Every structure is written in C-alpha cells, then in structure tokens.
Chains A and B, each alone.
Chain A
Amino acid sequence: MHTRKLAFLVLLGSLFASTARAQVKHVEMRVEGMT
C-alpha cells in the first residue's frame, strides 16, 4: 500500500516539475527608430 502511495507521489511530483519548467526564459527584440 505504501509503495503504491509512494509511486503515486513520485508520478505527481515529476508531472509538477515538468509543468513548472515550462516558461519563457528570454526575449530579444531588434528595433528601429530608437534615439
């Protein structure tokens, strides 16, 4: 029973970690007309 709970928690944790990594890390623009 404990093993199944542990496996479920590991699965949940890995899914959460995977989702948390998704993000915009950097944006770069080349612009014109800037003084």
Chain B
Amino acid sequence: MQKSLERQSGVQKAVVSLRDGTVDITPKEDGQIDPSQLLKATYDSGVTVAEMDMTATGHVIHLPSGELGLRVEPNRTFPITPNELSKQLEPMVDASTAVTVRGQLYTKAAGKVKEPPPLLHILILVIQGKG
C-alpha cells in the first residue's frame, strides 16, 4: 500500500503504521495532491479507509450551489460541510487572505464497507490560522 500511495501524483512520502492503523501522507512542495485518488489507491490495495483527515491552506469561496468551499488549488475546491466552525469562515469568503484548517474529508459509515464518495466534502475540525 505504501508503494502504491507513493506512486500517486503529488505524494512525496507515505508512512504506514501497522501498529496504529494509520497512514501519514506528505505532499510534495507544490501541494498538488488529490485526496480522492489516495482514497481510491488505498481501497484498490485491499484496505478499508475508516477516516481521512486533511490539513490544508486555501481560500474560502461561495460555490454556485450556495455552499462554502475551500479552494486549495485553482482547479481543486472542497465543499465545506456546515458546522459551527464553518460559520467563522463566512467573513473570509472571496478574501485575498488564505486560511489554514484541519478537517475531515471522509468517514466510513458504521458497519459498512463501501466505496468512497466521488466528491469529498470537508468538515472543519480546527481553524489553525487566518491570513
């Protein structure tokens, strides 16, 4: 699985901990990494992903659907799942300053082994910094 993940575009390093059941992925300097591809590569290697978290810096935008989104690259935006923390990001919509957040991209439904959803939403867990 480690080799499979390290072959994915944008991955600098993947560290697998058998004891903890965790995988830490460090993106390359440019940060151009696709979390949905990492999920797929992990599933394809026969391992079930229970949860995926991401730390990212991006710009808060309004999506055409009316949801907030976190744009981490010009062509990659994660819709933000509304919660108390996401409300704190609303004043930053279309601001030129970036925000760094830690959020949950995926969590497996209890008792089910299923394919990950094609479009990952981010549930904000921590706002680490603004500007």
Contact = CB atoms under 8 A, between A and B. Distances in A.
B72 A31 contact: no
A21 B98 contact: yes
A31 B24 CA distance: 11
Interface residues of A, number: 19
Contacts of A32: 21, 47-50, 108
Interface in A1-35: 14-15, 18-19, 21-35
Contacts of B30: 23
Contacts, number: 105
B57 A25 contact: yes
Contacts of B35: 24, 27
Interface in B35-55: 35, 38-39, 42, 46-55
A21 to B, nearest CB: 5
Contacts of A28: 22-25, 52-54
A32 B2 CA distance: 15
Interface of A: 14-15, 18-19, 21-35
Given A22-B73, A22-B98, A34-B18, 14 more contacts: A23-B30, A23-B31, A23-B58, A24-B35, A24-B55, A25-B57, A27-B53, A28-B23, A30-B21, A30-B49, A32-B21, A32-B50, A33-B46, A34-B47
